[in-house]
């Protein structure tokens, strides 16, 4: 697959129904045989993890299982001391060992991130409209186009434009989260890494955001990698679910794994209620 300088604007121009010009069978994100070692300890050892275009994929595990590290690897943001082998391909572009120029377009522009701490993720000294505008400018969106994209994004996430004049500490959790998601939409990201994106929100807002993901998948064609410890929430949204434990994928499948969990880790996750510490899996 040719993946030299990504001068590709065709993806950005496609509407939801047009077939992408790339190989339709190849996944959007393909992680293969990835190992990440830091300080002599192998922290990630992933055989396979995929996300197709406009697909919602879940990555579920307890804290320390490697979820954050995998996200960092996908974004090319691993610490300098990390030793990486294997491959992470995004739309054919190899991320492991990619140059800064390659990553400039991919990181943020094509792969976006939504974090758990909604308000804390926004720059405290900037108003939200400035924050989005600067990010658009960073990704070379011409000035004239920015307002259009922003308006469309606000519409898609159902955020009142007046809220954009506020500073992060003046927004609610749900509103701040929508700002982050709006940025992803405005940047026309094809993949959104949602890192515990709903965990810190209260239940009704959680449901709203989950619904928002579903809508955006349909309207914008965005793929989502839902990273969470909450199996029940993910199962309600995702087409495919990967269970991660100690850096390895121990089980994967569709939402049916909730009914018939094969791996003891999955079983423990199914049995656990989100807020309480899980039963010790090693006792099994």
Partner 1 sequence: MTMRRLLLRRLPQTLLVAIGVGLVAFGITRLLPGDAASTWAGPRASREELALVREQLGLDLPLPEQVVRYLAGLVQGDWGVSIHTRQPVLDDVLGRLVASMELVIVAMLIAVVGGLLLGMAGARWKGRWPDWLASAITAILVSAPIFWLGLLLQLTVATELDLLPVAGRYDREFRDAVGEGSTTGLIMVDALLSLNGPLLISSISHVILPALVVAAYPTGLIGRLARASLIETLGEEHIRMARAIGYAERTILLRFALRPSLGPVLAALALVFGYALGNTFLVENLFDWPGLGSYVADSISTLDAPSIAGATVVVALAYLAANLVVDLLRPMVDPRLR
Q: Which lies closer to partner 1 via its Cβ, residue 197 or residue 268? A: 197
Q: Which two tokens stand for residue 252?
A: 């994967």
- Could you tell me the smallest distance in angstroms from the CB atom of residue 173 to partner 1? 13
Q: Does 147 bind partner 1 (CB under 8 A)?
A: no
Distance CA 122, CA 178 (A): 11
Q: Does 69 bind partner 1 (CB under 8 A)?
A: no
Distance CA 63, CA 267 (A): 16
Q: Does 103 bind partner 1 (CB under 8 A)?
A: yes
Would you mind telling me the total number of residues written for the chain in this entry? 284
Q: Does 174 bind partner 1 (CB under 8 A)?
A: no
* Residues between 182 and 221 with contacts to partner 1, criterion CB under 8 A: 183, 193
Taking phi over 0 as left and psi of -120 to 50 as alpha, with beta for the rest, 249 belongs to: beta
- Could you tell me the smallest distance in angstroms from the CB atom of residue 101 to partner 1? 11
Q: Taking CB under 8 A as the rule, which mask of x and - marks residues 9-38 in contact with partner 1?
A: ------------------------------
Q: Does 225 bind partner 1 (CB under 8 A)?
A: no
Contacts of 113 (CB under 8 A, 6+ apart): 71, 75, 180, 184, 192, 193, 195
CB count in 10 Å sphere of residue 162: 8
* Residues between 123 and 142 with contacts to partner 1, criterion CB under 8 A: 123-125, 135, 138-139
Task: Tell me which residue of 249, 245, 281 sits closest to 264, measured CA to CA.
Answer: 281
- Could you tell me the smallest distance in angstroms from the CB atom of residue 178 to partner 1? 15
Chosen residue from 1, 120, 148, 218 binding partner 1 by CB under 8 A: 120
- Could you tell me the smallest distance in angstroms from the CB atom of residue 27 to partner 1? 21
Return the range that interacts with partner 1 (CB under 8 A); candidates 101-109, 210-218, 247-255, 271-279.
Answer: 101-109
Query: What are the backbone angles phi and psi of residue 156, rounded to the nearest 5°?
Result: -65, -35
Q: Which lies closer to partner 1 via its Cβ, residue 114 or residue 269? A: 114
Q: Does 279 bind partner 1 (CB under 8 A)?
A: no
Distance CA 209, CA 188 (A): 18
Which 3 state secondary structure label does DSSP give 259?
coil
The C-alpha torsion from 275 through 118 and 162 to 148, rounded to 10°, is -120
Return the range that interacts with partner 1 (CB under 8 A); candidates 34-42, 102-110, 147-155, 265-273.
Answer: 102-110
* Residues between 154 and 173 with contacts to partner 1, criterion CB under 8 A: 167-169
Starting at the earlier edge strand, list the strands of the sheet with 240-245: 111-114, 191-195, 223-228, 56-60, 240-245, 248-253
Q: Which residues bind partner 1 (CB under 8 A)?
A: 75, 77, 103-104, 107-109, 112-113, 115, 117, 120-125, 135, 138-139, 167-169, 180, 183, 193
């Amino acid at each position: 697959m040719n993946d030299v300088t990504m001068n590709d604007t065709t993806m950005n121009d496609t509407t939801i129904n047009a077939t992408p010009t790339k190989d339709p069978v190849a996944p959007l994100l393909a992680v293969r045989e990835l190992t990440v070692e830091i300080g002599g300890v192998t922290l990630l050892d992933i055989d396979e993890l995929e996300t197709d275009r406009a697909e919602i994929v879940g990555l579920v595990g307890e804290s320390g299982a490697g979820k954050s590290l995998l996200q960092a690897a996908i974004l090319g943001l691993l610490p300098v001391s990390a030793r990486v082998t294997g491959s992470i391909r995004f739309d054919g572009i190899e991320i492991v060992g990619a140059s800064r120029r390659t990553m400039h377009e991919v990181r943020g522009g094509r792969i976006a991130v939504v974090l758990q701490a909604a308000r804390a993720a926004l720059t405290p000294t900037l108003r939200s409209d400035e924050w989005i505008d600067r990010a658009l400018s960073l990704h070379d969106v011409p000035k004239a186009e920015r307002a259009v994209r922003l308006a469309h994004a606000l519409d898609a996430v159902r955020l009142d434009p007046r809220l954009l004049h506020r500073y992060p500490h003046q927004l609610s959790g749900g509103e701040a989260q929508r700002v982050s998601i709006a940025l992803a939409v405005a940047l026309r990201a094809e993949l959104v890494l949602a890192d515990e994106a709903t965990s810190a929100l209260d239940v009704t807002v959680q449901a709203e955001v989950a619904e928002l993901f579903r809508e955006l998948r349909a309207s914008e064609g965005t793929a989502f990698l839902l990273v969470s410890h909450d199996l029940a929430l993910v199962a309600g949204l995702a087409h495919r679910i990967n269970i991660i434990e100690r850096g390895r994928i121990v089980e994967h499948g569709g939402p049916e794994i909730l009914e018939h969990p094969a791996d003891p880790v999955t079983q423990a996750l199914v049995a656990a209620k989100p807020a309480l510490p899980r039963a010790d899996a090693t006792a099994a």
